[in-house]
Amino acid sequence: GAVVSQHPSWVICKSGTSVKIECRSLDFQATTMFWYRQFPKQSLMLMATSNEGSKATYEQGVEKDKFLINHASLTLSTLTVTSAHPEDSSFYICSARDGQGVETQYFGPGTRLLVL
């Protein structure tokens, strides 16, 4: 199956710093990528949808100036958490859709962010 990678898998940072998370589709071109956040024992929460070369579409309640998304190519999207605070600590997961046929979405392994 298609493979999506994320880097880093773990990040610990101080409050006020910015953190960048990379999401790559390794063996397919992803016209659409998605960013999710998941708190312990809760459901996936879609943060934003990004299409290559255009601005991301953010879900209601997600601050676009705080969570910067760049979908620079058909294989790379980045999420930057700006001025991170402890409440931003969460599990961030990206996914990529192959745009073929049934529009299957493949998930990356996730990035666990801890803001001290």
Partner 1 sequence: QKEVEQNSGPLSVPEGAIASLNCTYSDRGSQSFFWYRQYSGKSPELIMFIYSNGDKEDGRFTAQLNKASQYVSLLIRDSQPSDSATYLCAVYTGGFKTIFGAGTRLFVKA
Interacting residue ranges for partner 1, rule: CB under 8 A: 1, 32, 43-44, 46, 49, 51, 57, 91, 93, 97, 102-110
The CB-side HSE value for 105 (13 A sphere, CA atoms) comes to 10
> Measured from the CB atom, is 46 or 76 closer to partner 1?
46
> Measured from the CB atom, is 82 or 105 closer to partner 1?
105
Q: How far is the CB of 41 from partner 1 (least distance, A)?
A: 9
Q: How far is the CB of 58 from partner 1 (least distance, A)?
A: 12
> Measured from the CB atom, is 75 or 97 closer to partner 1?
97
Q: Is the omega angle on the peptide bond into residue 86 within 30 degrees of 0, that is, cis?
A: no
Contact between residue 106 and residue 61 where contact means Cβ atoms under 8 Å apart: no
Exposed / middle / buried, residue 65 (Cβ in 10 Å: 0-12, 13-18, 19+): exposed
